[in-house]
C-alpha cells in the first residue's frame, strides 16, 4: 500500500479525503510523532470527530489510517467512544471497514483502521457512465454492512454516501460506525443557508443531534436516542438521491429541512 496516497481519487478508510487541505490546528501532531505504538507519517485530514493520519506500526509491520479522536465529551465521551469503537473492532464483515485496534495514550483516544484505496460513494456514483445496476449493487453491499453492524448491536448514526468507500477492488465498505455523536454546537447564527450535506455534526438548541442534516432521521432532528431504524432512514435518503439525483426532503436551511423531515413532507419522485 502506498503510504503517500497521492491520487486525488483516493480516500482513506478513516472518513476524510486524503487530499483535504484543511489547516493544521494546535492539537495536531507533526509527522514522526508516536502514539500508542504507531508512528504518524502523514496528516490526511481533519473533521469534527478528530484528525486522521497514515501511520505505521513497526511491531506488526502494518500501515493504517489512524484517527485521533477529539475530546468533545470529557471523560464520559472518551469512555463511550472507546466502548463503541471496541465493539466495532470485534465486527468482521467484508462490507465494513475493519478496526484493528482502539486505545488511549497521552490522554487521547485513537482508532487504528484498515487503510483502503478507493473513492467515497458520493464521488464514485456521480462518475460519467455509472449504470443503475452498478449503483444498486454498491448500495446493496453497503446495506449488508449496515445489517451486520445492526446484528452486532451497533448503530452508525451518520450514514451518508461520503461515509462509504468503494475500494479499488470493487468492494464497498461502510466506515465510522458509532463514532458520530454530537461534539459541537450550532449557534443561533448557524441556521443561515448552508450546504447542509457538509455539516458533519450538529447540536440543536433543544437537544443533542448527531449526524449530517441532509440524511438525518426525524428522531435525530428531535434529539432523541436512535437505533437501527434511524440508519435505515438515512440509507433510504442516500439511495433515493442516487436513483433520482435529488434528496426526498428539501430545505435551504437547517430549520427548513428539519420541518420537512419531521413533518413527512417528502417530494414525489421526479417524473420520468
Q: Is residue 27 part of a domain?
A: no
CATH for 210: 1.10.510.10
Q: Is residue 86 part of a domain?
A: no
What is the C-alpha radius of gyration for the chain, rounded to an integer number of angstroms?
Answer: 18
With beta carbons less than 8 A apart as the criterion, state whether 164 and 241 touch: no
Whether residue 170 lies inside any domain: the answer is yes
Q: What is the percentage of the chain residues whose pLDDT exceeds 70?
A: 73
pTM: 0.77
Which comes out higher in pLDDT, residue 22 or 185?
A: 22
Residue of 35, 46, 50 lying closest to 81 (CA atoms): 50
Residue 268 lies inside a defined structural domain of this protein: no
Residue 174 lies in a domain: yes
What are the residues whose beta carbons fall under 8 Å from the beta carbon of 237, sequence distance 6 or more? Answer: 214, 215, 247, 248, 249
112 falls within a domain: no
pLDDT recorded at residue 47: 67
How many domains would you assign to the chain?
A: 1
Catalytic residue list: 158
Q: Residue 30 falls within a domain, yes or no?
A: no
| pLDDT 10s digits, 33-90 | 899 899 999 998 776 677 889 999 998 899 999 988 876 556 766 777 777 778 888 8
Supply the range of the domain harboring residue 148.
Answer: 120-262
Residue 101 lies in a domain: no
Amino acid at each position: 500500500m502506498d503510504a503517500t496516497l497521492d491520487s486525488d481519487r483516493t480516500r482513506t478508510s478513516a472518513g476524510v479525503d486524503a487530499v483535504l487541505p484543511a489547516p493544521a490546528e494546535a492539537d495536531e501532531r507533526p509527522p514522526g510523532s508516536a502514539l500508542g505504538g504507531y508512528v504518524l507519517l502523514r496528516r490526511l485530514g481533519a473533521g469534527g470527530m478528530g484528525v486522521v493520519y497514515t501511520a505505521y506500526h513497526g511491531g506488526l509491520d502494518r500501515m493504517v489510517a489512524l484517527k485521533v479522536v477529539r475530546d468533545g465529551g470529557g471523560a464520559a465521551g472518551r469512555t463511550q467512544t472507546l466502548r463503541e469503537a471496541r465493539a466495532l473492532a470485534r465486527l468482521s464483515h467484508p462490507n465494513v471497514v475493519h478496526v484493528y485496534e482502539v486505545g488511549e495514550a497521552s490522554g487521547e483516544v485513537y482508532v487504528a483502521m484498515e487503510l483502503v484505496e478507493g473513492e467515497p460513494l458520493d464521488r464514485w456514483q456521480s462518475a460519467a457512465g455509472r449504470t443503475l445496476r452498478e449503483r444498486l449493487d454498491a448500495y446493496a453491499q453497503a446495506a449488508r454492512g449496515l445489517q451486520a453492524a445492526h446484528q452486532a448491536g451497533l448503530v452508525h448514526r451518520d450514514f451518508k454516501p461520503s461515509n462509504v468507500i468503494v475500494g479499488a477492488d470493487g468492494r464497498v465498505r461502510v466506515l465510522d460506525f458509532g463514532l458520530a455523536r454530537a461534539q459541537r454546537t450550532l449557534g443561533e447564527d448557524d441556521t443561515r443557508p448552508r450546504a447542509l450535506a457538509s455539516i458533519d455534526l450538529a447540536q440543536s438548541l433543544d437537544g443533542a443531534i448527531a449526524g449530517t442534516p441532509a440524511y438525518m432521521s426525524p428522531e435525530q432532528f428531535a434529539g432523541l436516542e436512535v437505533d437501527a431504524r434511524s440508519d435505515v432512514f438515512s440509507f433510504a435518503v442516500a439511495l433515493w438521491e442516487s436513483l433520482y439525483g435529488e434528496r426526498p426532503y428539501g430545505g435551504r436551511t437547517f430549520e427548513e429541512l428539519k420541518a420537512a423531515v419531521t413533518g413527512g413532507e417528502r417530494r414525489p419522485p421526479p417524473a420520468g
